[in-house]
Amino acid sequence: MERVTLKTIAERVGVSRMTVSNAFARPDQLSDELREKVLAVAAELGYVGPDPAARALARGSTGAVGVLLTDSLGVAFTDVAATAFLACVADALADNGLAATLLMPPRTESVVPARDVAMDGAIVYACRPTSEDVAWLRRRRLPVVIVDQTPVAGSMHVNVDDRAGARAAAQHLLDLGHRAIGVLTLGVEGDDPVDPFGYNASYPGVQRLAGWTDALSAAGVQPDVALAAFRPDQAAYDATRRLLQRSDRPTALLCFSDAFAANALRAATDLGLRVPEDVSVVGFDDSAVAVEVQPRLTTVRQDLRRKAAAAVEALTLQLVARKKGTDAPAVHATVPTRLVVRESTAPVAGP
């Protein structure tokens, strides 16, 4: 079958090749009637439009934005908060005429998405600052926005006010009379519980630990810190059991995430403890998990839609500036948090 081109369609309709091109790329240049006629002939001949690679080369952009993830897609999609954030990013990009391209860590040396995928810029989501994938994006001199990471000079960042949110959560428990308080946070058993993270740590984990410590230290409370890996869920469950089986068990728990808190609820129940009568539990994120469990979680809300919008806005500012040949204004956004009190916390029980 002879290959169908713009010229083929132009000859059939009786218009110029540019008119056919405009029907696909610049529809405002044609009347509705003429455009519909061109598209009808194109459909009849089986033509789907200009080659995407050629079109990107002609206009100097792909219309795609990479979203770099730390983990595989399967792992990322098991995290309710991460999944919701990615959906918000995709919506915000679509509102700006852009498409999201998910970039996972490479499985082979021959294909490195951060190095090889065509894109106009990238949003780096919760990756380690030493990531080789981030390094590739910088080598390509692509516009980049960093989300949920330690701020680095010369980069645009969007973070959540994790520290203030964690501080409010700890103060809530103190106001309820709790003084024996446990902290269930990210780390590996055997790490130093005073500083379990180190240089390559999760920035939200560091900030949340700092926020809890701000409030508890001011009240003279030394928390009992338990560490759990982000995956599998069993790690948070086991860490909670170790905390709650002690003779001097805490009367309240501050958890790194709603997912950690949900596993803390499960562990408490399996030990015959009632929440919140015997132990109060506080999560973080205010994800869908927070209202699916029983009792519903007191938690710290981060506005994922606002965080995604801030990241996309910072990136589009860079894309527009690059097109104009100017410098984009620096963006270092911090999205506020707020405490949401539900049924998983209550005043400390009397002696």
- How much is the average pLDDT of 220-237? 86
Q: Can you tell me which residue has the tokens 């995430």?
A: 257
Tell me: pLDDT of 129 over 80: no
What's the order of all strands across the beta sheet hosting 99-103? Answer: 99-103, 64-69, 121-125, 144-147, 156-160, 332-335
Q: What is the CATH number of the domain that holds 40?
A: 1.10.260.40
Query: For residues 142 and 77, which has the higher predicted lDDT (pLDDT)?
Result: 142
Strands 121-125 and 64-69, by their bridges, are parallel
**Average model confidence (pLDDT) across the chain:** 86
Distance CA 325, CA 183 (A): 49
CA–CA gap between residue 207 and residue 162 (Å, rounded): 6
Band (pLDDT 50/70/90 cuts) for residue 195 is very low
Distance between CA atoms of 157 and 247, rounded to whole angstroms?
44
Q: Is residue 58 part of a domain?
A: no
Distance of alpha carbon 290 from alpha carbon 234, whole angstroms: 18
Write the pLDDT tens digit of every residue in 87-104. Answer: 999 999 999 889 998 888
Query: Residue 57 domain-assigned?
Result: no
Same domain, 177 and 79: no
Helix or strand run (H / E) with residue 259: helix 258-270
My answer on whether 251 and 267 are in the same domain is yes
| Strand locations in the chain (E) | 64-69, 99-103, 121-125, 144-147, 156-160, 181-186, 224-228, 252-255, 280-282, 299-302, 332-335, 337-340
Tell me whether residue 101 is in a domain. Answer: yes
Does 183 share its domain with 274? yes
Query: Has residue 281 been placed in a domain?
Result: yes
Q: Regarding predicted confidence, which is higher, 344 or 72?
A: 344
Residues 190 and 243 reside in one and the same domain: yes
> Is 349 part of any domain?
no
Are residues 203 and 231 part of one domain?
yes
Query: Is the model's pLDDT at 35 over the cut of 70?
Result: yes
Same domain, 199 and 261: yes
Q: Give the model's confidence band at 51: pLDDT under 50 very low, under 70 low, under 90 confident, else very high.
A: low
Do residues 293 and 167 both lie within one domain? yes
Q: Which domain holds residue 172?
A: 163-302
- The structural domain count of the chain equals 3
Give the pLDDT confidence score for residue 193 in this predicted structure.
Answer: 45
1 occurs within a structural domain: no
Q: 199 pLDDT band (50/70/90 cuts)?
A: very low
For the residues 272-291, what does the mean pLDDT come to? 96
Can you tell me the mean pLDDT for 232-236? 82
Q: Which residues contact 77 (CB under 8 A, 6 or more apart)?
A: 83
* pLDDT at residue 324 in the model: 85
- Tokens standing for 304? 């994922």
